[in-house]
Amino acid sequence: MSRPWEAKPIPVVTEKLQAGPVQRVLAINGRIAPQMQVDIGPTVGGRLASVLAKEGDVVKAHDLLASLDDSQQRAAVRQADAALEGARATLQQAKIQFERAKGLGDAISRKDLDAAQLAAQTAQSDVDRLSAAQAQALSVLAQYTIEAPFDGTVLVRGADPGQVVSSATVLFTFADTAHLWVEASIDELYAAEIRRGLKARLQPSGYGRTLAGEVSSVSPTVDSSTGGRLVRVTIADTQGLTLPIGLTVNLNIVVAEDSSAITVPRSAILDAATAPAVFVVENGKTMRRPIEFIDWPSPRLIVGSGLKNGDVIVTNPKAVVDGASVAPPDG
């Protein structure tokens, strides 16, 4: 029998809760970066005589990358060699004279003997000083050649032959592309949950494959300008993929796992910031029930207390009020 004067139940969308295994995952974007990257430049100024490496070249440690015109420094080395050779000859002669003086015994005055000894000592000091000068000249000469510091790839070449450079010039940006990780900035609201050793899933853009990873480092500081905390995730196995530096990666860090937890849609929670609650349906009516939940950037949230297995909740709570008669949309 129709009773038009009675209020009809409000059609709502409901969900029957069932505890189950849950992973709390932080989904963010990161970028591929080398674990080791350096800017390479000369430690002396001059004109570039040759630049042997170009962008993309893969080189071994100590391979020659570039050289500067070293003609003046080679001349300085020759001068140092000549000066040292002369000092050594003088030292040899002084030693002979001193040995002769000692051999004369009482036939030579103490003054002359001391003079011969002093001459030998002075000659030795000259040899030591000029040996150091020669070593310094050779050390400076070595700086006119620029070598690869380790096995890696030239990412950027910043100069060409003939160019005059200084110690501030970056000739190459160089990286070890065999050992990569993903760098990402995590909002400070969630950064406290991130720690070394957490597992992660990585999806490089443009590659239809998921890679495994692990959080290897978490910055001890938060960038005050962005509110982000730098996190690095090491890639366990690239599976043969060639991943370019700077490639965007969809990163899912598994923060926590629970073998049995209740979750609700974020949309089902009322007053989440002040007095979080949901509408539970009992005997066809809504009842506001306070809950505690873990706030997380996810469409479903883990409920810590307030709900149990089998509870039926309203997932579109703005459509009703406490104590309202409700029914599924189909009747």
Which pLDDT score, from 0 to 100, does residue 330 have? Answer: 55
CATH of the domain at 304: 2.40.420.20
Beta pairing, strands 152-157 & 37-40 = unpaired
Helix intervals (H) in 104-224 = 110-142, 188-191
Q: For residue 233, give its domain range.
A: 25-36+176-258
In angstroms, the CA 160 to CA 85 distance is: 39
User: Do 212 and 89 fall into the same domain?
Assistant: no
pLDDT tens, the chain, 331 aa long: 455 555 678 899 999 999 999 999 999 999 999 999 999 999 999 999 999 999 999 999 999 999 999 999 999 999 999 999 999 999 999 999 888 888 887 778 888 888 988 999 999 999 999 999 999 999 999 999 999 999 999 999 999 999 999 999 999 999 999 899 999 999 998 888 899 999 999 999 999 899 999 999 999 999 999 999 999 999 988 988 989 999 999 999 999 999 999 999 999 999 999 999 999 999 999 999 999 999 988 899 999 999 999 999 999 998 899 999 998 775 4
In a domain, 30, yes or no: yes
Same domain, 163 and 235: no
113 with 149, same domain? no
Is 2 within a domain?
A: no
4 falls within a domain: no
Taking the C-alpha atoms of residue 62 and residue 149, their distance in angstroms, rounded to an integer, is 6
Q: Is residue 123 part of a domain?
A: yes
Indicate if 322 and 235 belong to the same structural domain.
Answer: no
Place of tokens 């001059």: 46
- CA Rg, the chain, in Å? 39
Nearest-10 Cα torsion for 77, 81, 82, 85: 170
Instruction: Quote the pLDDT of residue 331.
Output: 44
* Residue 167, pLDDT score: 92
Q: Are residues 228 and 274 in the same domain?
A: no
Question: Is residue 1 in a domain?
Answer: no
Q: Which two tokens stand for residue 274?
A: 């002040």
Q: Is residue 59 located within the same domain as residue 78?
A: no
Residues 239, 305, single domain; the answer is: no
Any bridge partners for residue 265, and if so which? 300
CATH number of 47's domain: 2.40.50.100
DSSP 191-255: HTT--TT-EEEEEETT----EEEEEEEE-SS-BTTTTEEEEEEEES--TT----TT-EEEEEEEE
pLDDT on residue 252: 95
Domains held by the chain: number: 4
